[in-house]
Structure formats: structure tokens, C-alpha cells
Amino acid sequence: MKAIEDIRNHPLYVEAYKKLEQEEQERIFCCHQMEHLLDVARIAYIQSLEQKLEIRKEVIYAAALLHDIGKYRQYTEGIPHEKASAEIAEVILNELSENFFSETEKASILRAILGHRRLREDMEVLERLIYTSDKLSRKCFACKAQEECDWDAGKKNFALEI
């Protein structure tokens, strides 16, 4: 998927990802690096196929790879990471050398990034898909820092979801 490689290799993505790695270097809780981003993408794609959602694979992967890319700004500047990630994603999507995504798809990707932290009744399909997949990607049942984690117990995964 050339679109996804172009996102991953975009200078702003590379810079943000390095900052994210640096900020999470000593983190004992869930991290937001490539393993997590790809877990979200793969879970979302599987769910999309199972539910026959007809969302292009590139759109799902773009939303997943970009949904937490601004997390370092939450650590360093106190900016909610969904907002920081959407700001970064918008620049990247608009600067891609090819038109991989329609304007409607770009808007959907940005909404999914902005909405991936809170479940709402009026969520769009991709937004709900990224929200759900983000939560399903967490391995709370096997986490060594489970006792110290302040994540809401209702959002933690204490069993494998299949």
C-alpha cells in the first residue's frame, strides 16, 4: 500500500514518531508506537471485513497509523492527543504526493482520529471502528502495570475478545 508507506515516510510523521518513541521510552503502561498502531489497523480491517463495512483498506490503515501520532504533544504540551494527532494528520494527508484519498475520505480519517477516545451515539462508521479497535488492541489481562494503571476499569480488556 503505497499510500501507507508515504504516510509512514512523510518527514512530519517520522519526526513525530521519533518524539513519541522518546517520550515513551521509560513508560510502563501501554505505548502508542508501531505495534499498537498496526494492532489497531489490523483489528479494524478484520472488523470491517466481518461487518461488510466496505471501507477501503488504505483508509483504515491511514486512520490507525495516524490516530496516536500526536501523543508526544500530550506528554510535552498537555494538548489532548486526539487533537494533536488530527493536526499532524491533516498536514500529512494534504501533503501526500499523490491523491490517495478523496476529500470525503480525508475528512472521515480526521473525524476518526478526533473521535477515537470517546464513544458517542452519533459516531461515523470509521470513527466507531477506530474507537473499538483501539480498545480491543489493549492487552490489560497480561499487563505488568495493571495495578498502577489509572485507565477506567470499564475500558480495560481483561479477556481476549474474538
Percent of the chain residues topping a pLDDT of 70: 95
CA distances for 150 relative to 70, 126, 146, 155, angstroms: 21, 27, 9, 11
pLDDT of 137 > 70? The answer is yes
Lowest mean pLDDT among 17-31, 42-56, 65-79, 86-100: 17-31
Rounded mean pLDDT of the chain?
91
What confidence tier does 45 reach under pLDDT thresholds 50, 70, 90? very high
Candidates 83, 35, 90; CA nearest to 62 is 90
C-alpha span between 160 and 156 (Å, rounded): 11
pLDDT of 162 > 70? The answer is no
- Mean pLDDT (whole number) for 35-39: 93
C-alpha span between 19 and 22 (Å, rounded): 5
Provide the pLDDT for residue 1: 86
Provide the pLDDT for residue 33: 82
Looking at per-residue pLDDT, the higher value among 143 and 2 belongs to 2
Residue with cell 504540551: 77
What confidence tier does 29 reach under pLDDT thresholds 50, 70, 90? low
Query: Is residue 136 within 8 Å of 156, Cβ to Cβ?
Result: no
- Per-residue pLDDT tens for 83-94? 999 999 999 999
